[in-house]
Amino acid sequence: MLPLQELSDRVEIQDLITRYAYAIDERDWDALDRVFTEDAIVDYTELGGKKGTRAETKAYLAEAMPNFPAFQHLSTTTRVDLDGDRAKAKTILFNPMVMEHEGKERVFFIGLWYNDELVRTEAGWRISHRREEKCWSYNAPEGMLPE
């Protein structure tokens, strides 16, 4: 049987990953302050985005996401490796997105993993480093995603 602290840590980390998905899907960039540490590094480069601090990531998302009138971040199947007040997590993400392309609405799909490093803070678990890792895409506009 898992110790109570480990059960609590795992639930809190899963909730943190869920809060990230809701912050993005609701376009609530300030909610990311309760997901990432202040000095976090977020790396979206593998899918054509930017790498930066929490503040830089919020600014980037506010600029980039209006290009997509609809999207959903479906986070699932998280593996968590706990090590005291630190943890690593790898989470599958299925991400349908909508954008205008050549005058028409286009729906495309991306499959990726979130590779996270987490730290326990006074305010609870936070992500200190996130790197998106591309797995696959379907129907994305040509040239939109790096090869």
Burial classification of residue 114, based on how many CB atoms lie within 10 Å of its CB (0-12 exposed, 13-18 middle, 19 or more buried)? buried
Q: What local confidence, expressed as pLDDT, does residue 143 receive?
A: 78
The C-alpha atoms of residue 138 and residue 72 are separated, in whole angstroms, by 15
Percent of the chain with pLDDT over 90: 90
- Tell whether domain 4-138 is in CATH 1.10.150.80: no
Question: Can you read off the two tokens belonging to residue 121?
Answer: 């803070």
Q: What local confidence, expressed as pLDDT, does residue 144 receive?
A: 79
**Sign of the C-alpha dihedral computed for residues 137, 142, 143 and 147 taken in this order:** positive
Percent of the chain with pLDDT over 70: 100
The C-alpha atoms of residue 88 and residue 68 are separated, in whole angstroms, by 30
Q: What local confidence, expressed as pLDDT, does residue 67 receive?
A: 92
Tell me the pLDDT tens digit for each residue of 89-139: 999 999 999 998 888 899 999 999 999 999 999 999 999 999 999 999 999
Contact 19, 35 (CB under 8 A): yes
> Given the structure tokens 């960039």, which residue do they identify?
29
Give the torsion through C-alpha atoms of 35, 47, 65, 60, to 10 deg: 60
Question: Can you read off the two tokens belonging to residue 39?
Answer: 């000095």
Q: How confident is the model at residue 76 (pLDDT cuts 50, 70, 90)?
A: very high
Res. 147: pLDDT tops 80: no
Reported in sequence order, the residue ranges of the chain that DSSP labels E, i.e. its strands, are: 36-43, 51-53, 70-71, 74-83, 86-101, 104-121, 124-138
Q: What local confidence, expressed as pLDDT, does residue 141 receive?
A: 85
Q: What local confidence, expressed as pLDDT, does residue 145 receive?
A: 81
Burial classification of residue 69, based on how many CB atoms lie within 10 Å of its CB (0-12 exposed, 13-18 middle, 19 or more buried)? exposed
